Amino acid sequence: MDRTSGLPPASRIDAVIGSVTQPTNREHALVVTVDEGGASLGTCTVAEAHAGSGVRHRAFSVLLRDPRGRVLLQRRASVKTRFPGAWANTCCGHPAPEEDLAVSAARRLTEEMGLRGIRLVEAGSFAYQATDPATGRVEHEFDHVLVGRTDTDPIPDPAEVADWCWLAPSSLPDLPPRLAGASARYAPWLAPVLRLACAHWEASGRG
């Protein structure tokens, strides 16, 4: 990975954390359960959705890139209940029932990465199921991929993000196949997120 910029000072991180309202326990929040095609069925808690064999539910993954074509990745904090310490896309989350997808994604960008005011566009969706061998929790998600552009370094919440990097565009074509051989280091949804985002940028003439 091409870490092309360093972490901001702690004082800047503290300023962002103080400006964002953090939920007391995200495991108790409601998510939207869906069928195989992504149609809404009902709701359950985050904890219920990721227990046992998992309950298919709606999720989103955001991937940002800068004017140089670099994409912004984060390393998930060690306290995460699913795939802690794994490298993933810019941010992830679940829309609340009746919450607009883009609104929810923008909120999580602020909460996790301290980034605001970024226009997000849906690049596609995919479904996957994966078990975290370390925690036993299961991801069973219908995942909407949203992309956007920024020329700003993140100011992450250290309770959410352990590290971050800008990945050089020259690394992107070969990255998805490499992820399969290093599954412990990368979140299982990262490869399909990268494929959909890159395909969207290519189709829109911004590849």
Residue 115 contacts residue 108 (beta carbons within 8 Å): no
The two tokens of residue 104 are 């929810």
- Options 91, 141, 160, 198, the catalytic residue: 141
Residues 6+ apart with CB under 8 A from 27: 45, 46, 47, 81
What type of residue sits at position 8? P
- Options 91, 92, 111, 112, the catalytic residue: 92
* Catalytic residue check, 141: yes
* Catalytic residue check, 92: yes
Residue with tokens 């994604």: 105
Calpha distance 207→198 (Å, rounded): 7
Catalytic site residues?
Answer: 92, 141
